[in-house]
């Protein structure tokens, strides 16, 4: 048989206290896995390759949306434009949306 004094009982109570969880408001929503498909036609945005150590950003415009793919207009530094068809899910996984420059209009 073990004798426990009051101090040990109080220490045990303090150790067993559980901090209640509470909901914290604010913050950002988690990014969608396919954020590119969520952009509307004619939206101009900046994107960066994930895990890129460079400082450069690419500017794109959503030209047309298909079921799976998206036609993007990629503006190069000298204002030349290149049209590229991309898989929206793979693009979203490989690039981070940095900023929306101009919102497109709802279709």
User: What domain range includes position 72?
Assistant: 36-102
Query: In this structure, is residue 6 part of a structural domain?
Result: no
Q: Is residue 21 part of a domain?
A: no
Query: Which positions ≥6 away from 94 have C-beta within 8 Å?
Result: 49, 50
Is residue 1 domain-resident?
no
74 within a domain of the structure (yes/no): yes
C-alpha dihedral sign at 15, 24, 36, 45: negative
Number of domains in the chain: 1
What's the CATH code of the domain at 66? 2.30.30
Helix (H, G, I), strand (E, B) or coil at 26: coil
**Is 67 inside a domain boundary?**
yes
Amino acid 27: pLDDT: 55
Q: Specify if 5 maps to a domain.
A: no
pLDDT in tens, 17-63: 666 666 666 555 555 689 999 999 999 999 999 988 888 888 999 99
Predicted local distance difference test score (pLDDT) of residue 37: 92
Residue for token pair 């073990």? 2
72 assigned to some structural domain: yes
For the entire predicted model, the pTM comes to 0.65
Contacts of 92 (CB under 8 A, 6+ apart): 32, 33, 34, 35, 36, 37
pLDDT of residue 85: 95
Q: What is the mean pLDDT of the chain?
A: 82
- Asked if residue 15 belongs to a domain, the reply is no
């Amino acid at each position: 048989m073990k004798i426990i004094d009051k101090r040990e009982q109080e220490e045990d109570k303090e150790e067993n206290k559980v901090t209640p969880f509470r909901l914290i408001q604010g913050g950002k929503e988690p990014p969608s896995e396919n954020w590119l498909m969520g952009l509307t036609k004619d939206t101009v945005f900046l994107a960066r390759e994930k895990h890129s150590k460079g400082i450069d950003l690419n500017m794109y415009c959503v030209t047309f949306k298909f079921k799976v793919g998206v036609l993007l207009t990629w503006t190069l530094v000298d204002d030349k434009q290149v049209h590229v068809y991309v898989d929206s899910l793979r693009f979203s996984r490989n690039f981070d949306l940095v900023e929306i420059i101009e919102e497109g209009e709802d279709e």
